């Protein structure tokens, strides 16, 4: 453009020179000048237009190349992909085994207005989904609605079959479904979530918010293998003794972590809607029972710790005790003076009642209060039963509670209490959530380490020579206490309806785990000579469970005749001057 | 001179324009690739998630036990006597590879004792 202008200017000058030399050409020059001016303007205009067009293109180019990033989809531009996020976080066991997860599934729905032939569509549909009923599908497809659910949560194969039918008016909706790959295993701990992924029971309910908000899996203290062993042995015993229910717990005595907790009958949380109330009832935490002689562990610990009696001391158990309408008597009556170890070994109610009498009502209340037995158990489950405690707490209550009657607690409370009795005297809060920190959990002392050792000796005595012989798992130095209680009914007790239990700990020289097995209304059989007491029906469960889980938990079997064990667990049985080696 | 400068500027503008377009197209192409890869990663993550659930389902202790009962009928729970630590193992095998009874002795000594 500048070039052309210069050309024009030179032309102008040349024109003027010509005009000066040739006056006749003045008119022609003027005209030429006009033409040049017009051309000049046009060229300028065209140039401006071109500048504008290029300017617009440049602006658009910069816009597309540099400025449009913000409106692009996030995934396309992100240099790293976000981890997959489900509506609900997974739940895993202590070893990372998946216990609950969300999976994407397709659900089938129909728009009946778009179905051409409902009868034919229904007929075809049941060939792909035989579990549906043709008449019901026909009825749904004939409605005047625009949306009807036909089947929720199809498997990929079912979805493919339905797709292959090619029926117009059928659609799939993708949704997340909570899946429990282990089925009934630990069902009462996990609980379940409803169709909208809201926690309804168990851990699913207690941790509903955090499971929705977090993507990190929730790690439980449960060990799937241990849980299976416990559940399996309980089920076998329940069937063998025709019990109406069973429950069992395995707890780490040194931190209160629950490694396994089972309640039978159980249910499959994948089909929680089909479970009966009895199946959904968690006997381990929600059920409260009068647990019988297992409470003698607390009575003995209390009496020894408060110093009202020594291991060498004892009580006269010759005659039953009659207090108001109660008759306190012994099932394995020896009808003589019994030392403390003997009271424990023969499970003497008379001896325990007298021991508790010496301790006193207030001290007993305080002791059980410190053990957490006067309030619902503190555990991360919504299904927790409140203990039934006597009000008022009369002296007779003190006596009956000493052998586990007149006060009902949950099996979990019993296990927590016994853990504190054998672990050196520290009460830990029971927990189902595995802590990532290796710091020792908070605990409060309830009995001295010395008393705890004496309790362990007593518990070992029961398995070695007393009512719990059937719990002796070879090599694992099991100690424990049997419990057999009549079930209360109509203000009294039903003699033939028992709660038979055994609570054991192992290895007794340095306890690591407490194991409880409890059967609800077991029936004796030929193998047990008709007995359905804790020693006959529950102790063998503990024996088998310990033998199965100890190797999994890294507990090494030991030589039970080793002198080191004798040294730790020997007990002086003050019976006519004889010493009983019980270790 | 001025014409030359102008030419240089026009040339530079052309090169810059070409480079800008070229980069834009390349970025677009890479973004498409990244998007496809991200989609693939998400798909793989979903597959792994499903496989983990399936693994857990197939590894149900009850399932393993059932399979063991069916396929390994002689398999029993271990006895206490069968459980021990690595330190319980003797240095030498009870029977040497050629069938020589060693009774816990080193093979050379056992062989010498047996006159071999």
List the domain boundaries for chain B: 1-76
Alpha carbons A243 and A245: distance in angstroms, whole number? 5
- pTM here is 0.80
Q: Which of A417, A407, A382 is nearest to A285 (CA)?
A: A382
- Residue A550: phi and psi, rounded to 5, are -55, -45
Diameter of chain A measured on Cα atoms: 163
The rounded radius of gyration (Å) of the Cα atoms in chain A is 41
- Residue B21: its chain A contacts at CB < 8 A? 61, 65
Least confident of A194-208, A282-296, A492-506, A566-580: A566-580
Alpha-carbon distance B83 to nearest alpha carbon in chain A (angstroms): 7
Mean pLDDT over B67-82 rounds to 88
On the question of pLDDT at A16 being above 90, the answer is no
Least confident of A23-32, A126-135, A492-501, A507-516: A23-32
Alpha carbons A421 and A454: distance in angstroms, whole number? 10
On the question of pLDDT at A12 being above 70, the answer is no
How is residue B36 written in tokens?
């496809």
Alpha-carbon distance A498 to nearest alpha carbon in chain B (angstroms): 30
- Residue of A63, A71, A97, A177 best to disrupt the B interface, most CBs of B under 10 A: A97
Alpha carbons A502 and A5: distance in angstroms, whole number? 113
Alpha carbons A520 and A511: distance in angstroms, whole number? 27
Q: Is B29 exposed, middle or buried (0-12, 13-18, 19+ CB in 10 A)?
A: exposed
Alpha carbons A99 and A109: distance in angstroms, whole number? 30
Q: So what's the pLDDT on residue A332?
A: 75
Provide the 3-class DSSP secondary structure of residue A124.
Answer: helix
On the question of pLDDT at A134 being above 60, the answer is yes
Instruction: Say if CB B39 and CB A75 are below 8 A apart.
Output: yes
- Digit-coded pLDDT (tens) for A459-477: 999 998 888 999 999 999 9
Mean pLDDT over A359-377 rounds to 93
- Residue A93: its chain B contacts at CB < 8 A? none
- Digit-coded pLDDT (tens) for B15-38: 998 998 899 899 999 999 988 998
Chain-chain contact of B54 with A181 (C-beta, under 8 angstroms):
yes
Alpha carbons A158 and A445: distance in angstroms, whole number? 59
Q: So what's the pLDDT on residue A353?
A: 93
Query: Does the CB of B42 have a partner CB in chain A at under 8 Å?
Result: yes
Mean pLDDT over A487-492 rounds to 76
A412: Cβ contacts below 8 Å, ≥ 6 apart: A249, A258, A261, A284, A285, A377, A379, A430
Which residue on chain B is closest to A72 by alpha carbon?
Answer: B31
- Residue B19: phi and psi, rounded to 5, are -65, -40
Alpha carbons B104 and B116: distance in angstroms, whole number? 17
Q: What is the H or E stretch that residue A136 is in? A: helix A134-141
Provide the 3-class DSSP secondary structure of residue A567.
Answer: helix
Residue A392 DSSP symbol: S
Q: Is A146 exposed, middle or buried (0-12, 13-18, 19+ CB in 10 A)?
A: exposed
Mean pLDDT over A541-549 rounds to 95
Q: Give the bridge partners for A192, in sequence order.
A: A201
Alpha-carbon distance B114 to nearest alpha carbon in chain A (angstroms): 34
Q: Which residues of A touch B (CB under 8 A)?
A: 3, 58, 61-62, 64-65, 72-73, 75-79, 81, 83-84, 86, 97-99, 101, 103-104, 179, 181-183, 185, 224-225, 228-229, 232, 473-476, 547-548, 551, 556-557
Q: So what's the pLDDT on residue A27?
A: 73
On the question of pLDDT at A421 being above 80, the answer is yes
B72: Cβ contacts below 8 Å, ≥ 6 apart: none
- Residue B75: its chain A contacts at CB < 8 A? none
Chain-chain contact of A75 with B52 (C-beta, under 8 angstroms):
no
- Digit-coded pLDDT (tens) for A73-103: 544 455 566 677 788 999 999 999 999 999 9
* CA A370 centroid distance within chain: 26
- Residue A62: its chain B contacts at CB < 8 A? 20
Of A3, A181, A556, the CB nearest to B53: A181
Chain-chain contact of A181 with B20 (C-beta, under 8 angstroms):
no
Q: So what's the pLDDT on residue A480?
A: 95
Query: Quick one: three-class SS letters along A496-528?
Result: EEEEEEEEEEECCCCCCEEEEEEEECCCCCHHH
Confidence of residue A522 (pLDDT cuts 50, 70, 90): very high
Instruction: Say if CB A151 and CB A129 are below 8 A apart.
Output: yes
Residue A315 DSSP symbol: E
Q: So what's the pLDDT on residue A581?
A: 35
Q: So what's the pLDDT on residue A426?
A: 94
Of B20, B42, B62, the CB nearest to A65: B20
- Digit-coded pLDDT (tens) for A383-404: 999 999 998 998 889 999 999 9
A80: Cβ contacts below 8 Å, ≥ 6 apart: none
* CA A527 centroid distance within chain: 36
Q: So what's the pLDDT on residue A583?
A: 31
On the question of pLDDT at A196 being above 50, the answer is yes
- Residue A349: phi and psi, rounded to 5, are -70, -35
Alpha carbons A55 and A109: distance in angstroms, whole number? 55
> Which residues of A carry out catalysis?
293
Alpha carbons A555 and A551: distance in angstroms, whole number? 6
Least confident of A3-17, A223-237, A273-287, A501-515: A3-17
Alpha carbons A573 and A564: distance in angstroms, whole number? 19
* CA A13 centroid distance within chain: 101
Mean pLDDT over A192-197 rounds to 89
Chain-chain contact of B35 with A64 (C-beta, under 8 angstroms):
no
Chain-chain contact of A101 with B49 (C-beta, under 8 angstroms):
yes
How many degrees, rounded to 5, is the angle at CA A532 between CA A527 and CA A536? 60
- Residue A81: its chain B contacts at CB < 8 A? 37-38, 41-42
Mean pLDDT over A347-360 rounds to 92
Beta carbon pairs, A and B, within 8 Å: 93
- Residue A495: phi and psi, rounded to 5, are -70, -35
- Residue A225: its chain B contacts at CB < 8 A? 61
A12: Cβ contacts below 8 Å, ≥ 6 apart: A33, A36
Chain-chain contact of B41 with A81 (C-beta, under 8 angstroms):
yes
Average pLDDT, chain A: 87
Q: So what's the pLDDT on residue B102?
A: 56
ipTM for the complex shown: 0.75
Q: So what's the pLDDT on residue B96?
A: 55
On the question of pLDDT at A276 being above 70, the answer is yes
Which residue on chain A is closest to B58 by alpha carbon?
Answer: A181
B74: Cβ contacts below 8 Å, ≥ 6 apart: none
Q: What is the H or E stretch that residue A456 is in? A: helix A449-465
């Amino acid at each position: 453009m500048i070039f052309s202008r210069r050309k024009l200017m030179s032309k102008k000058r040349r024109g003027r020179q010509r005009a000066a030399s040739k006056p006749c050409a003045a008119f022609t020059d003027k005209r030429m000048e006009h033409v040049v001016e017009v051309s000049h303007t046009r060229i300028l205009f065209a140039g401006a237009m071109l500048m504008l067009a290029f300017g617009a293109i440049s602006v658009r180019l910069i816009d597309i190349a540099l400025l449009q990033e913000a409106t692009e989809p996030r995934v396309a531009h992100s240099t790293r992909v976000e981890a997959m996020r489900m509506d609900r976080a997974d739940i895993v066991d202590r070893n990372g085994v998946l216990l609950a997860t969300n999976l994407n599934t397709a659900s089938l729905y129909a728009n009946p207005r778009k179905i051409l032939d409902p009868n034919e569509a229904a007929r075809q549909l049941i060939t792909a989904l035989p579990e549906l009923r043709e008449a019901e599908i026909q009825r749904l497809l004939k409605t005047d609605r625009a949306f009807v659910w036909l089947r929720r949560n199809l498997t990929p194969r079912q979805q493919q079959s339905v797709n292959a039918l090619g029926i117009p008016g059928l659609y799939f909706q993708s949704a997340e479904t909570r899946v429990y790959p282990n089925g009934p295993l630990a069902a009462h701990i996990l609980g379940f979530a409803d169709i909208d992924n809201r926690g309804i029971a168990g851990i699913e309910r207690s941790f509903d918010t955090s499971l929705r908000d977090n993507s990190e899996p929730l790690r439980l203290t449960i060990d799937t293998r241990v849980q299976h062993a416990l559940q399996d042995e309980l089920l076998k015993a329940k069937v063998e003794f025709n019990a109406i229910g069973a429950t069992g717990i395995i707890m780490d005595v040194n931190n209160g972590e629950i490694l396994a907790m089972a309640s039978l009958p159980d249910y499959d949380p994948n089909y929680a809607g089909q479970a009966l109330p009895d199946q959904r009832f968690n006997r381990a935490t929600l059920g409260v029972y009068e647990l019988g002689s297992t409470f003698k562990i607390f009575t003995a610990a209390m009496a020894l710790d408060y110093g009202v009696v020594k291991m060498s001391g004892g009580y006269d158990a010759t005659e039953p005790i009659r207090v108001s309408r109660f008759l306190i008597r012994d099932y394995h009556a020896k009808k003589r003076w019994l030392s403390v170890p003997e009271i424990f070994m023969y499970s003497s109610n008379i001896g325990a009642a007298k021991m508790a009498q010496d301790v006193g009502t207030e001290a007993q209340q305080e002791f059980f209060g410190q053990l957490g037995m006067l309030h619902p158990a503190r555990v991360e489950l919504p299904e927790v039963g409140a203990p039934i405690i006597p009000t008022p707490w009369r002296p007779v209550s003190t006596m009956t509670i000493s052998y586990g009657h007149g006060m009902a607690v949950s099996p979990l409370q019993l296990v927590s209490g016994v853990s504190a009795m054998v672990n050196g005297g520290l009460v830990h809060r029971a927990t189902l959530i595995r802590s990532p920190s290796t710091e020792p959990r908070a605990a409060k002392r309830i009995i001295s380490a010395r008393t705890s050792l004496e309790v362990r000796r007593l518990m070992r005595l029961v398995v070695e020579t007393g009512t719990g012989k059937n719990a002796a798992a070879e090599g694992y130095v099991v100690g424990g206490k049997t419990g057999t209680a009549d079930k209360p009914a109509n203000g009294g007790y039903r003699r033939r309806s028992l709660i038979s239990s055994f609570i054991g700990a192992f290895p007794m020289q340095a306890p690591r785990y407490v194991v409880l097995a409890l059967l609800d209304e077991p029936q004796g059989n030929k193998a047990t000579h008709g007995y359905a007491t804790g020693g006959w029906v529950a102790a063998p469960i503990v024996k088998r469970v310990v033998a199965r889980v100890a190797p999994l938990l890294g507990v090494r079997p030991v030589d039970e005749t080793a002198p080191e064990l004798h040294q730790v667990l020997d007990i002086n049985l003050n019976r006519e001057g004889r010493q009983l080696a019980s270790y | 001179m001025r014409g030359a400068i102008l030419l240089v500027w026009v040339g530079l503008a052309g090169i810059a324009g070409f480079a800008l377009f070229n980069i834009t197209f390349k970025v677009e192409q890479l973004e498409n690739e990244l998007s496809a890869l991200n989609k693939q990663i998400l798909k793989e993550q979903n597959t792994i998630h499903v496989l983990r659930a399936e693994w857990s389902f197939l590894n149900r202790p009850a399932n393993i036990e059932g399979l063991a009962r069916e396929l390994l009928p002689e398999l029993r729970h271990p006895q206490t006597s069968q459980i021990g630590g690595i330190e319980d193992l003797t240095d030498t095998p009870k029977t040497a590879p050629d069938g020589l009874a060693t009774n816990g002795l080193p093979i050379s000594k056992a062989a010498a004792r047996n006159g071999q």
